[in-house]
Amino acid sequence: MLRSVSRALLALLFVSTLCFAQSETPSAPTPQEAPSAPAPQTAPAEPQFPPVSEANFDAPSPTRTDVEAFLKTSWGYDSNRLWEVYSIQKTTAPGVSKVTILVAEKQTPQQIATLIFFVTPDGRHLIAQEAVLDFGPHPYESNYRLLQQRADGPSRGASAKQFQLVEFADFQCPHCKDAQAIAEKLVQDFPQAHFVFENFPLVNVHPTAYKAAVWGACVAQQGGSDAFFKYASSVFAAQNDLAGQGADQALRNAANAAGADPDKIAACADSAAGKSAVDASMHLGQQLNVNETPWLFIDGRGMPMLAVSYDQLKTIIEYQFSLDK
């Protein structure tokens, strides 16, 4: 039976693995029961995709090669995922093509899902439900180049920008606090990566986030990236204080922890120069369609930073970096 791919798959920008079935853990044998002999190992079955007809391909573009290249870039990190380009068809909208993909997993090959999206006449974007994504054999390249040019927040790791990990975060966001342990692991596990922190305060949700970001930008301006990351660690540790009357003291304490003069940082934070760095970072995030935090770009491939396990995240990063050598 064919099933539609969930909105969650699109929300993760083709990152998440498809989970169509729940596994059951067999109960342990009672003392009176002898464990049965292990079942012989058999090779996983291949999915039985429906036959593909050439009549399903009446649109001049994109070609099957174009779609395959896009899917390979987007999903190639997942050796468990299998797919078939089922159709590329004309629509009543001039130049807009409808693409249908059949998707399955090796673990559950009998469960086949469908992914449908529309490709714009210029071949540069796809539309699926409410999502508009870059399309083509190199769908993340425009983001990659923009981040190389504009992601100039506090950084660590490699100085070269061939391999980039760019985090957009909000100091009042609880998930961003959780993500900092992941960021530390990424810096250790990928020394070839240029890791950048970009402020993206969600001002409509977190009233102190913008001020905390500006203080952080001023710490970076006066003390450099090392000072900023000390400041960030201190602010996240005292995150609960940002919502109350202790917010100003928490920021002063964080500036002290970074080796900065809190009075000088406060003066900087009240100036246009202090706010401009945060405003530029927010504008960059908006250009990249960031609308939640923490958000991570891997050589331009954007994804929620906590969407997958750390091992899965490493796999995605390794795969993307292999494409960008």
3-class SS at 17? coil
Describe the crossing of helices 272-287 and 209-237 by its angle, rounded to 10 degrees. 90
- Rounded CA-CA distance 30/286 in Å is 58
- Rounded CA-CA distance 201/170 in Å is 5
103-117, 136-150, 202-216, 223-237: which has the minimum mean pLDDT?
Answer: 103-117
Q: What is the pTM of this model?
A: 0.86
Give 110-144 as a DSSP string: EEEEEEEEEE-TTSSEEEETTEEEE-SSSTTHHHH
Tokens of 171: 């100091």
Q: What is the pLDDT of residue 130?
A: 82
- Rounded CA-CA distance 148/158 in Å is 13
Residue 120: pLDDT over 70: yes
Residue 27 banded pLDDT, cuts 50, 70, 90: very low
The CB density around residue 5, as the number of other CB atoms within 10 Å, is 20
| Cβ-Cβ contacts under 8 Å for 264 (sequence gap 6 or more) | 218, 222
Closest CA to 202 of 286, 132, 272, 277: 286
| Mean pLDDT, the chain, integer | 88
Residue 223 banded pLDDT, cuts 50, 70, 90: very high
The CATH number given to 142-323 is 3.40.30.10
Q: What is the pLDDT of residue 46?
A: 79
Tell me if 295 sits within 8 A of 199, measured CB to CB. Answer: no
Tell me if 58 sits within 8 A of 90, measured CB to CB. Answer: yes
Half-sphere CA count of 155, side-chain side, radius 13 A: 21
> Mean per-residue pLDDT for 22-40?
36
Q: H helices of the chain, where?
A: 7-11, 64-75, 141-150, 174-189, 209-237, 247-257, 262-269, 272-287, 310-323
| Phi, psi of 223, deg, nearest 5 | -125, -5
Q: pLDDT tens digit string along 74-112?
A: 999 999 999 999 999 999 999 999 999 999 999 899 899
- Rounded CA-CA distance 127/322 in Å is 27
Residue 11: pLDDT over 80: no
Tell me if 230 sits within 8 A of 190, measured CB to CB. Answer: no
> Mean per-residue pLDDT for 260-268?
98
Residues of the chain with CATH 3.40.30.10: 142-323
Tell me if 97 sits within 8 A of 63, measured CB to CB. Answer: no
Q: What is the pLDDT of residue 41?
A: 55
- Rounded CA-CA distance 226/187 in Å is 13
Q: What is the pLDDT of residue 43?
A: 56
Closest CA to 236 of 175, 305, 154: 175
Q: What is the pLDDT of residue 236?
A: 98
Q: pLDDT tens digit string along 127-179?
A: 998 888 999 999 999 999 999 999 999 999 999 999 999 999 999 999 999 99
- Rounded CA-CA distance 88/117 in Å is 10
Higher pLDDT, 198 or 37: 198
